[in-house]
Amino acid sequence: MAWHLRIAVAVLVGALALPASAADAPDSVLAAVDAYAGRQAEVGQALWARPELGYQEVQASALLQQELRKAGFRIEAGVAGMPTAFVARYGTRGKGPVIALLAEMDALPGMAQAAVPTRSPLPGQDAGQACGHNLFGAAVVGAAQAVAQWLKASGSDGEIRVYGTPAEEGGSGKVYLTRAGLFDDVDVALHWHPASANSAAQGTSLANISGKFRFKGIAAHAALAPDRGRSALDGVEALNDMANMMREHVPDGTRIHYVISNGGAAPNVVPDAAEAYYYVRHVDPAVVRDVIARLQLAARGAAMGTGTEATFEPTGGVYSLLPNDVLGQIMQRSLQRVGGVIYDAADTAFAQQLQQSLPQRPALESAASLEPYSAEQAGGASTDVGDVSWNVPTVGLSTATWVPGTPAHSWQAVAASGAPIGAKGALNAARVLALATVTLLQSPQTVAAAKQEFAQRRGAQFRYVPLLERATPPLDYRQRAKE
């Protein structure tokens, strides 16, 4: 953060005498979260047992909507052109702040795993909750229903919303919600994420553009008539070679990832269709735009050199996160009241066995502690929350739902996301989110300070231009390319 902005934020925080959210938030809110804990765990387990990929979260979305409807929320389903997206509202719009909670639910392909501490793929299942989005969605519902009860009982002004946000993993679902103006009247957005530690630190992430390079060639018998063929796979491989040479000549911090999502059907057939699925990341959205444009030029060159044709379909595009220190301090105070995750004997046994498969094994006691707070933490992942954060003051949280040392997108994360320690970490997240939300509903001046910091960080000249360059959501982006 620039020195003048750092000073401005410090002045705002000091002048406000921010309420000690953890101390002032009514105990009734925590009691309402805890009363729902059993059902929250059941919801999280249901999403874990039926993992659904991006834009295919039919059962998950229906279950989250059902729970919110029972709690008195008004549901608007199928928003922004996404059948599984929804907005749930409770409270009085126009009186008091509008606070949004983001609820993710999609799983990852190729990550099926039992809820046991050893590698145990599930027969007949492909997807798995390797990023813990089953816990993400369930805990947001747990927090929201508690806040709704508090709003009703206290007669307080304000509105709590839950945004069901599909396809976070590469589908950029929240970008479509943002572009559709569904956050335009929101004052603050809150989110959380499963992790192996407890932290309210705020910081940046990596902007990201993803897409599929498709090559079209001419099929032929690979032995009898190879001269008549033009290999689409050659086009993909030529592109990949050029991308790998490009790595030396891109700005520091750039990440380029790809998989060959279609390489042909049989070695003795010159493939007439092939596909490579690419991600480009950097903290600066301008760098991401430049590198993906260079890759598109490389694809044209690869097609010319192999006698094929190349097209590019963008599938996703997200901004980096814009942190907010005013909101981060509210989240930190709420986390301090709730504390970390306490293992019982069964949790400890599970964690000890699972840790044997991890290269890094922090002390299990770290799940009960809190990470130091920072407002400028650098992150290496990407999230479509980034686009929300450049349009609405946004704050995040992580809790220890996974065994210490567990990386995201791993079978170990899948296992813990379906185990009791995952449910315990998610309950902590629900408690923190509920406390922070009630604090903001009670304190319009804090919301105003967060908005002032938000405006300073964005800058007066900022204009939101999405990195996502497609008109409609790619509802089939998780389907494998047809061979």
What single-letter DSSP state applies at residue 249? G
| Whether the Cβ atoms of residue 341 and residue 198 lie closer than 8 Å to each other | yes
Mean pLDDT in each 10-residue stretch from start to end of the chain (483 residues)?
44 44 68 98 98 98 98 98 98 90 98 98 97 98 98 94 96 96 98 98 95 97 97 98 98 96 96 97 95 98 98 94 97 97 98 97 97 89 95 98 98 98 98 97 96 97 93 86 39
The token duo for 163 is 């945004």
| Whether the Cβ atoms of residue 405 and residue 63 lie closer than 8 Å to each other | no
* Cα(162)–Cα(199) distance, integer angstroms: 22
Q: Which residues contact 9 (CB under 8 A, 6 or more apart)?
A: 1, 325, 326, 375, 453, 456
> What is the reported pLDDT for 174?
97
| Whether the Cβ atoms of residue 57 and residue 106 lie closer than 8 Å to each other | yes
Q: Which residues contact 339 (CB under 8 A, 6 or more apart)?
A: 198, 368, 370, 428
Full-model pTM: 0.90
> What is the reported pLDDT for 25?
52
Amino acid, single-letter form, for residue 128: G
> What is the reported pLDDT for 94?
79
* Cα(184)–Cα(176) distance, integer angstroms: 13
In angstroms, what CA-CA distances link 265 with 28, 223, 312, 404, 479? 60, 15, 21, 42, 16
> What is the reported pLDDT for 7?
36
